[in-house]
Amino acid sequence: MAGHPSTSTQGHFLAFVDNLGAKVISIVRYTLEVCQMVYLCIRAAVFDQAQGLRTIFGVVSAQIYFTGWQALPLVSVLALAAGSIIVLQSATQLSLVGGQSMLGNLLVMIIIREVGPLVTALIVIARSGTAVASEIGNMRANREIEALEVMGINPLSYIVFPRLVGGVVSVVCLAFYFNAVALLGGFIVTRVINDMPFSFFADSLANAITIEDWGLFLLKNGFSGIIIFVVSCYQGMLVKQSSHEVPQVTTKAVVNSVIYVVTFNLIVTTLFYLNQLIKLGLI
Amino acid sequence: MKHMKGHEGLTSIETLSFSHAKFAYDRTKPIFTDLTVDVPMNSCIFVNGPNGSGQSTFLKLLAVLVQPQGGSYLINGVDTTDMSFEEFLPFRRKIGYTFDYGGLFANRTLLDNLALPLVYHKISTVQEAEAEIQELAARFKFDGQLEQRPAEVSGGLRKLVCVLRSFLTKPEMIVMDDPVTGIGPDGSGKLIELIRNKKETGELKHVFLTSREESWATRMGCKTLWIEKEKLHLREAERAA
C-alpha cells in the first residue's frame, strides 16, 4: 500500500538526517581514536624505561632517510615547476598593474603559506604514508606486532613513536627545501624573462617574510607530518589477521590523510586571515 | 630471592583464573560466553578439544594476547582486564608465548629476532646474547643459518626459532600454540629435553600448549585440559615420558 506523499518525503528526510548523523559520529569517533593514538604513543615512549634513545634514534633516522632524503629528487622537480609557474604568472600580472614591488608578498603568500605545505604533504602521503600503512599492516598480518607485545615491547613506543617523530622532522625539512627550491626556481625563470636583479628579488622576499609566516610554516607542516604518520600507522594497526586487508587499509590511509591535511590547512588559513583582518580593523 | 639480571621488579605467577569470561572474535559467533575456571598450575597442560572449540583462543586469553570482553581474568587474584600495557608488564615478562605461524620480524636475521627481547630488556649485552643464541642454535643444529632472514629458511625452522625465542627471556610460564608441527622429530625431541631441563631447575613452572601431534604432548607428560562446549575438564596424563 502506497503511503501518503508527505509521510514518504518526511521518511526520506529522516533517513537522510539519520545517515548524516551516523556519518558525523563515525568521523568524530575516528578523529578521537587517531588523537588518542598520538597521546598513547607519546605516553608509551615516555614511560617505556627499557627503550633506549639508541633504539628510537635508529628508526627515526631510517624514517628521515626514506621520507625526507629519498623524496628530494621528486620534491626538487615539483618545487622547481611550481615555483617557476607561480613566479612567472605573478610577475607578469603584477608588472601589468605596476605592482612588481609586491612580488615578495605574493610569493610568500602563495608558496610559503599555501602551496609549499600542501604539495609537500601530498608528496609525503603518496610516498611514505602508503609505505608506513602497508608496512605496519603486513607486520600485523605476520603477527610481528603481537610478537612485540608478547616480548613486553610496546608497539606504540617501538613502532609508531619513532615513525611519527621521523615523519614530522622529514615533512618540516622537506617543506623548507620545497620553499627554497620553488623560490630559487622562480627567480631563475624571472631572471630570464624580466631581467630582475637578484638583490631586488631577495629584498622583496626578506621584507615580506614575517615571524608569523615562520609560525604558520611550523604549524602547518608540523601538524601535517603528525596527521600523515599517525593516520597511516593507525590504519596499518587496523589489519586484523590477513594480508588481503593491507591494500584496503593503505588506500584508506591515503584518502583519510589527504582529507585531514587539506581540512587542517583550510582551517589554519581561514583563522590566519581572520586574524589579519581583525588586526587591520576590518572586522 | 636473588633476581636475574634484567628481571628486577617482575611478579611471580602463582594462580590463574577466569570468572564468567566472555570472548568472541565476531560478535555473532562467541567462543566463550561464561568461562569460569581455576587454571591448574605448576604442571604441563595440554589444551585439547574438537576443532573450533577455542583451544588457541584459550591460550591467547591465558597469555593476555586478547582480553575477555566480559567477566574477568585474574592473575594472582588481580584482575588484568583493565590493565594498561605498563601495568601488565611485570606479569608479561614472566610469560612466554609461541605462535602457531608467523611472529618473526621479516626484515631481521634469525639472530636479531632471537636477540631482540634479551637486548631490549637489557637482560644481556649484545655479545652475551649472541653467545647464548649461538650455543642454543648449535644444540638445535641451525647455527649456520643465524644470519639468514625468515623468508630464506624453511617454515619448520621459522617455527623453531619462534619457539626458542620465547624461552630465552627465562619465563616462568610458557604458552605454546602448536609448537612442533613442522619442526621434525629431532627438533621436537630436543624441545622436550629443553622444557624438562627448565622445569627441573625450577626456572619454568607452568606449561600450556596445544598440538596437532597428541603423542608429543603425551611424551611431555602433560595433563589434558579438554574444552568442549565451553566446559573444561582436566584429565590426568595418559603416559608420562
| Cα–Cα distance measured from residue B103 to residue A142, given in angstroms and rounded to the nearest whole number | 6
Q: What percent of chain A has pLDDT above 70?
A: 98
* A147–B93 CB contact, under 8 Å: no
Please determine, for residue B201, whether its predicted confidence score (pLDDT) is greater than 80.
yes
Overall average pLDDT of the A76-83 stretch: 92
Which chain B residue is nearest to residue A43, measuring alpha carbons?
Answer: B86
Beta bridge partners of B175: B97, B208
User: What pLDDT was estimated at residue A225?
Assistant: 96
Average pLDDT across chain A, whole number? 90
Overall average pLDDT of the A20-30 stretch: 94
- Partner B contacted by A142 (CB < 8 A): yes
Please determine, for residue A85, whether its predicted confidence score (pLDDT) is greater than 80.
yes
User: What pLDDT was estimated at residue B219?
Assistant: 86
Q: What angle do CA A245, A142, A235 make, to 5 degrees?
A: 40
- Quick: pLDDT tens for A249-260: 999 999 999 999
Domain positions in chain A are 74-153+170-279
Q: Of A141, A128, A162, nearest to A232 (Cα)?
A: A128
User: What pLDDT was estimated at residue B240?
Assistant: 41
* Of residues A52 and B113, more confidently modeled: B113
User: What pLDDT was estimated at residue A5?
Assistant: 65
> In 3-state terms, what secondary structure has residue B16?
strand
- What is the distance in angstroms between the Cα of A237 and the nearest Cα belonging to chain B? 15
> Closest partner residue to A142 among B85, B102, B116, by Cβ?
B102
User: What pLDDT was estimated at residue B9?
Assistant: 65
* Of residues B138 and A1, more confidently modeled: B138
* pTM of the shown model: 0.88
| Cα–Cα distance measured from residue A85 to residue A188, given in angstroms and rounded to the nearest whole number | 11
- Partner B contacted by A266 (CB < 8 A): no
User: What pLDDT was estimated at residue B6?
Assistant: 59
Overall average pLDDT of the B99-106 stretch: 92
User: What pLDDT was estimated at residue A3?
Assistant: 55
* A153–B97 CB contact, under 8 Å: no
Note whether B17 and B194 are within 8 A (CB). no
> In 3-state terms, what secondary structure has residue B222?
coil
Q: Which of B10, B11, B61, B85 to mutate to test the interface with A (most CBs of A within 10 A)?
A: B85
| Cα–Cα distance measured from residue B197 to residue A280, given in angstroms and rounded to the nearest whole number | 81
Residues 15-54 of A with CB under 8 A from B: 44, 47-48, 50-51
Overall average pLDDT of the A242-269 stretch: 95
- Set of chain A residues whose Cβ sits within 8 Å of the Cβ of B122: 50
Average pLDDT across chain B, whole number? 88
- Quick: pLDDT tens for B17-55: 999 999 998 777 888 888 888 998 998 999 998 888 889
Please determine, for residue B72, whether its predicted confidence score (pLDDT) is greater than 70.
yes
* A152–B121 CB contact, under 8 Å: yes
| Cα–Cα distance measured from residue A170 to residue B167, given in angstroms and rounded to the nearest whole number | 39
- Partner A contacted by B121 (CB < 8 A): yes
Residue B163 corresponds to which cell in the numbers above? 619457539
> Closest partner residue to A152 among B65, B93, B99, by Cβ?
B93
| Cα–Cα distance measured from residue A239 to residue A252, given in angstroms and rounded to the nearest whole number | 12
* B105–A147 CB contact, under 8 Å: yes
User: What pLDDT was estimated at residue A181?
Assistant: 94
Cα separations in angstroms, A23 against A27, A70, A131, A137 = 6, 38, 28, 25
- Quick: pLDDT tens for A118-168: 999 999 999 999 999 999 999 999 999 999 999 999 999 999 999 999 999
Q: What angle do CA A152, A34, A115 make, to 5 degrees?
A: 125
- Set of chain A residues whose Cβ sits within 8 Å of the Cβ of B117: 151-153
- Set of chain B residues whose Cβ sits within 8 Å of the Cβ of A137: none
* A144–B86 CB contact, under 8 Å: no
Which chain A residue is nearest to residue B10, measuring alpha carbons?
Answer: A152
Please determine, for residue B237, whether its predicted confidence score (pLDDT) is greater than 60.
no
* A154–B103 CB contact, under 8 Å: no
Count interface pairs A-B at CB distance under 8 A.
Answer: 63
Residues 54-113 of A with CB under 8 A from B: 55
* A147–B65 CB contact, under 8 Å: no
User: What pLDDT was estimated at residue B8?
Assistant: 63
DSSP A84-115: HHHHHHHHHHHHHTT-GGGHHHHHIIIIIIII
- What is the distance in angstroms between the Cα of A23 and the nearest Cα belonging to chain B? 22
Q: What percent of chain A has pLDDT above 90?
A: 63
User: What pLDDT was estimated at residue A253?
Assistant: 97
* B102–A151 CB contact, under 8 Å: no
Please determine, for residue A22, whether its predicted confidence score (pLDDT) is greater than 90.
yes
- Quick: pLDDT tens for A86-117: 888 888 888 888 887 788 888 888 999 999 99
Q: Name which of A4-8, A79-83, B27-31, B236-240 the model is least confident about.
A: B236-240
- Set of chain A residues whose Cβ sits within 8 Å of the Cβ of B65: 146, 149-150
Overall average pLDDT of the A191-212 stretch: 83
